[in-house]
Amino acid sequence: MPSGPVFLVSDVHLGAVPPRTEEAFRRWLRHVGESGGRLIINGDLFDFWFEYRSVVLGEHVRVLALLADLVESGVPVLVMGGNHDWWGGSYLRQRIGVDFRRDPARIRVKGKSVLVAHGDGLGPGDLGYRILRFVLRGRVTRRLFRWIHPDLGVRIAESVSGTRAHLASGTGPATDGRTEFLSNWASDQLRRDATIDIVALGHGHLPVVTEMAPGRFYVNTGDWVLHRSYVTIDDSGTPALHEWRR
């Protein structure tokens, strides 16, 4: 297994971002393959992802192939489901080879205990969204959606997402006060559980690395819609924030 830094990224929103952003992200994935020991994609890699029985969304083929190449080369890839791509499953796990998870997870990274979660639906707030999320993720909803033609399904998802519309208007995705809430949630997790060294979130679209207490960090990987940001964790277990400029 490669022994380089661990890379964390989130909120790339492939399918909604311009082609040049996807091209830059593919270059970044090759960089990870050359120097990384592990890749963690913390939700919303895709602006929309749904696993049909015999259809793969064509616009994502090149990125999926690069992820499969990373896994084959010995770089473990963990993909967390976000609010835009929670509907991953057996295709990502079996055909691409990534470790796909829908729920927050505790993992070991460079000797540190890391709580990884995308960030949507955390805590008791935003009851309206939590109800909507429960409906959208329900088994009946997923079964019914599978019967919709993929072209129509993508159009429905785009209208619900709103990412393209925000980009067309010259603004980034609406964050609805997420930054402060997510930071407070991370701080609360670190306070409650002394065994957690790093809380790693996405969803907020604002890159942050904050040392909440000596040697204990809140990390938000930001996004690739506006920032092209990512985080690395080196052998000391210390996270560092970066922006991809190539």
Q: How far apart are the first and last CA of the chain?
A: 26
pLDDT, mean over the chain:
88
The predicted pLDDT at position 169 comes to 62
Cα within 13 Å of Cα(51), Cβ side: 15
Q: What is the pLDDT of residues 133-175, one digit of tens each?
A: 666 666 776 677 777 877 777 777 677 666 766 666 666 665 6
The predicted pLDDT at position 57 comes to 79
Give the ranges where the chain is alpha helix by DSSP (H): 19-35, 61-72, 90, 127-136, 139-146, 150-161, 163-168, 178-192
Q: How far apart are CA 91 and CA 99, in angstroms?
A: 11
**pTM score of the predicted model:** 0.89
Is the pLDDT confidence value at 1 over 50? no
**Arithmetic mean of pLDDT, 6-30:** 97
What is the token pair recorded at 191? 């306070």
Q: How far apart are CA 223 and CA 65, in angstroms?
A: 21
Is the pLDDT confidence value at 125 over 60? no
Is the pLDDT confidence value at 107 over 90? yes
Q: Are the C-beta atoms of residues 136 and 84 closer than 8 Å to each other?
A: no
